[in-house]
Amino acid sequence: MQALSLYHTAGIAPAYLSQIETVRREGALETMRKIALNITLDDLVG
């Protein structure tokens, strides 16, 4: 899944997703759940 699609699906700002990915910010549990439910194993090992 592309970041554009992921942030849109999770309902978060692109900058917030970037901060989570680079460990500059911790995502809220609900945000992390939304992200986890919208990625596949292929996305992770891609």
pLDDT tens figures, 20-45: 999 999 999 999 999 888 888 888 88
What count of residues does the chain have? Answer: 46
* Mean predicted confidence (pLDDT) in 3-26: 89
Given the structure tokens 């292929």, which residue do they identify?
Answer: 42
Q: How confident is the model at residue 46 (pLDDT cuts 50, 70, 90)?
A: low
pTM here is 0.71
Q: Give residue 19's Cα distance to chain centre.
A: 10
Q: Do 31 and 10 touch, CB atoms closer than 8 A?
A: yes
The one-letter amino acid at 26? E
Question: Residue 6: its pLDDT value, please?
Answer: 84
Q: Is 38 helix (H, G, I), strand (E, B) or coil?
A: coil
